[in-house]
Amino acid sequence: MPGSPGFPIEAVAAGWRLPGIANLHSHAFQRAMAGLAERQTHPADSFWTWRETMYRMATRFDPESLHAVASQLYVEMLEAGYTTVCEFHYLHHAPDGTPYATRTAMSDALIAAARDAGIRLTLLPVLYMTGGFDGRALGERQKRFGHGVDGYLRLFNALHAKQDDMLKVGCALHSLRAVPADAMREVLAALPADARIHIHIAEQVGEVQDCLAVRDLRPVEWLLRNAPVDARWTLVHATHLNDPEVAGIAKSGATVAICPTTEANLGDGLFRLRDHLDAGGAWGIGSDSHISVSPVEELRWLEYGQRLATRHRNIAVSAASPSVGATLLEGVLASAAQSTGFSDIDDAVVLDGDAPLLAGATAEDVADRWIFSGNRPAVREVRVGGRRVVADGLHPEREAVAQRYAAVVRDRLLG
């Protein structure tokens, strides 16, 4: 045990064996726009201007191109040590909002990509109904995201019927601004009792201000008062919280999905990690917009953001676990089952014992050395459900997948 009673690391012949890591928040299509929103478009560039670039990219996808991009992304995730991904999926229809002949076509593309790569998938079809807290209609570029309650439940039920030992289907409520209160209650009442529920919330200061103006409560405050938030729920980002909201999330048992590289890239702000840990809150990580596909980088920058904010070191620790790396890995392991819906799984990552950054590593320091020793890959092998999907650091289909991805991006998404 590496200084944390809740996180197992085992010495094996090839190096160090640890549990697979769950990626709690993904928008697969956004991998294709990584690096394409880094030019100033407005002196006050923010999430809201970045969103315009994202909308333009979203209009170019069809099932075939989504499959190619998601396949590339999921191979990258496996090679980095992620073994499960929660896909927060809202590209449901054709760009003009017309449903595909097969209404599950875009979701099916993601399911196929996950199966091809060998990663566990928690598919979270998104309910997206309005363009703001004021109930405005969806804009032209949002129409492909939209559903009414009945149409959404038909989609959910069709996908839920496809579940198996590598696929779980849950519900994603896009955000409070995109789902009216009555619709939220109707959908929640119709879900299976064990369905996982994810929602974007309190990511932006503007979102908090708009919620206060329309509903007279902050977003997390409103949700905790008006929805049956419990351990089935994952609150994505939850960046801007006050003290009662921190305490309320922890008391509810919900998981917070923190996405440090995306939150930094978008200028969102920093999650109140130390306060959340002190309250006993559950949390995990996600790569969200995929400007990075690395659990090491997410965990490192989760800790580094806290250090920059407090001007202290070694923030994510406890009396029982003085190791930052082990404490972080324990956190993502502890929340994985309740956020993804997968439990009692046999997924493992083997770190390369011959990697220079792990030379002379011990059970007490290997977690810290993996997370804080730089960016050279140290994953040697990954197994999902006992099946080896990465060997010697490489996925067996990586070249074919990369070629298909490059052709789609070059010729169809950017051409």
Residues tagged active-site: 237, 288
Give the C-alpha distances (Å, rounded to integers) separating 341 from 71, 83, 233, 390.
Answer: 22, 13, 11, 23
d(CA 261, CA 313): 19
For the residues of 295-344, what is the DSSP string, one character each?
A: HHHHHHHHHHHHHHHHT-S--S--SS---HHHHHHHHHHHHHHHHHS--S
d(CA 226, CA 188): 12
Cβ within 8 Å of residue 154, ≥6 positions away: 103
Residue found by looking up tokens 């995109």 in the block: 178
What are 26's strand-pairing partners?
87, 288
C-beta neighbour count of 216 within 10 angstroms: 9
For the residues of 344-385, what is the DSSP string, one character each?
A: S---EEEEETT-GGGTT--TTTHHHHHHHS-SS--EEEEEET
d(CA 75, CA 395): 6
Q: What letter does residue 63 receive in the DSSP assignment?
A: H
Q: Buried b vs exposed e over 378-411: b needs ≥16 C-beta within 10 Å?
A: bbbbbbbeeeebbeeeebeebeebeebbeebbee
Residues in the chain: 415
d(CA 259, CA 265): 10
The residue type of 155 is L
Which of 4, 14, 19, 5 has the alpha carbon at shortest distance from 349?
19
